[in-house]
Amino acid sequence: MPIVCDMSSEFWSRPIDVPKYGYIFAGVQKNWGPAGLAIAIVRKDLIKKENIMKTCPSIIDLKVVDEAGLQMLNTPPCWSIYMWGLYV
């Protein structure tokens, strides 16, 4: 079973062994930037259509997001991204 972890309090606080996790997500507002942004790291083998519930909206369907590549499926929070860029 893959390990899923909310690392909102962990980013930039200590080294993380990323390959041992299947899915890492974090709200950056705690340690890394302004509210409105999130980080998600997903192991490639977990992005399969058969892993998605039929009721899952496409905006959070990891297979749809992965296939979109750099094309956005929604309007990004531009101010938060700009401020994060200044921060890091």
What pLDDT digit, counting tens, does each position of 23-54 carry?
A: 999 888 877 778 888 888 999 888 876 666 77
Strand arrangement of the beta sheet that strand 38-42 belongs to:
4-6, 23-27, 38-42
Backbone angles phi, psi at 22, to 5 degrees: -90, -35
pLDDT at 68: 82
- Within 8 A by CB and 6+ apart from 14, the residues are none
Q: How confident is the model at residue 76 (pLDDT cuts 50, 70, 90)?
A: confident
pLDDT given for residue 70 in this prediction: 66
pLDDT for the residue 51: 64
The candidate with the shortest Cα–Cα distance to 62, out of 37, 80, 78, 45, is 45
What residue segments make up the domains of the chain, in order of their start?
A: 4-87
